[in-house]
Amino acid sequence: MKKSILIPSSFVLALCFTEALAQGCVAIRGFSGCSAGLSNTFGTSKGEAFISTSFRYFKSFRHFRGNHEEIERIENGTEVINKSYFLDLSLTYGITNRLYATAILPFTHHNRSSMYEHGGNPPNGLGERHETTARGLSDLRLGMGYWLIDPSKGKSFNYAIGVGIKLPTGNYDYKDTFYNQGVNKNETNYAVVDQSIQPGDGGTGITLDVQGYHVLSEKFVLSTNLFYLINPKETNGILTRSKTSEFSCPDQFAIRMGSFYNTSLHGFSMYAGGRVEGVPSTDLVGGSAGYRRPGYAISIEPGIAYSKNNIAINASIPFAVARNRVQSYQDKQISSTTGVYKNGDAAFADYLVNITLTYRIGKKHGDDMLMDFVPDWND
Distance CA 170, CA 202 (A): 7
pLDDT band at 33 (very low <50, low <70, confident <90, very high): very low
Domain ranges of the chain: 2-375
Give the alpha-carbon dihedral of 232, 236, 240, 245, to 10 degrees: 60
Report the pLDDT averaged over residues 235-245: 94
The string of pLDDT tens digits covering residues 292-326 is: 999 999 999 999 999 988 899 999 999 999 999 99
Report the pLDDT averaged over residues 329-339: 94
Cβ count near 97 (within 10 Å): 16
Report the pLDDT averaged over residues 173-189: 96
Enumerate long-range contacts of 344-347, CB under 8 Å, 24 or more apart: 344/65, 344/293, 345/63, 345/64, 345/65, 345/70, 346/24, 346/25, 346/26, 346/63, 346/64, 346/293, 346/295, 347/24, 347/25, 347/60, 347/61, 347/62, 347/63, 347/64, 347/79, 347/80, 347/81, 347/82
Report the pLDDT averaged over residues 327-341: 95
H or E element that contains 338: helix 329-338
The string of pLDDT tens digits covering residues 256-301 is: 999 999 988 888 999 999 999 999 999 999 999 999 999 999 999 9
**Phi, psi of 319, rounded to the nearest 5 degrees:** -110, 125
User: What is the predicted pLDDT for the residue at 294?
Assistant: 97
Mean pLDDT for the chain overall: 87
- pLDDT at residue 35 greater than cutoff 70: no
CATH no., domain 2-375: 2.40.128.130
Q: Are 210 and 160 in contact (CB under 8 A)?
A: yes
Distance CA 319, CA 230 (A): 26
User: What is the predicted pLDDT for the residue at 151?
Assistant: 82
Phi-psi region of 5 (alpha: psi -120 to 50; beta: other; left: phi over 0): beta
The model's pTM is 0.88
User: What is the predicted pLDDT for the residue at 38?
Assistant: 40
Residues 173-198 as b or e (16 or more Cβ within 10 Å = b): ebebebbbbeeeeeeeeebbbbbbbb
Exposed, middle or buried, 5 (CB in 10 Å: 0-12/13-18/19+)?
buried
SS3 264: coil
Q: Amino acid identity, residue 276?
A: V
**Phi, psi of 43, rounded to the nearest 5 degrees:** 85, 5
SS3 for 121-162, per residue?
Answer: CCCCCCCCCEEEEEEEECCCEEEEEEECCCHHHCCCEEEEEE
User: What is the predicted pLDDT for the residue at 1?
Assistant: 39
Residue 57: which residues within 8 A CB-CB, separation 6 or more?
Answer: 83, 84, 85, 86, 352, 353
User: What is the predicted pLDDT for the residue at 264?
Assistant: 80
User: Of 47-51, 306-310, 362-366, which range is least confident?
Assistant: 362-366
Distance CA 93, CA 97 (A): 10
Question: Greater confidence, 151 or 377?
Answer: 151
Nearest to 352 by CA among 49, 41, 59: 59
SS3 73: helix
User: What is the predicted pLDDT for the residue at 309?
Assistant: 87
Nearest to 20 by CA among 345, 323, 360, 297: 297
Q: What residues form DSSP beta bridges with 22? A: none
User: What is the predicted pLDDT for the residue at 44?
Assistant: 72
Report the pLDDT averaged over residues 348-362: 95
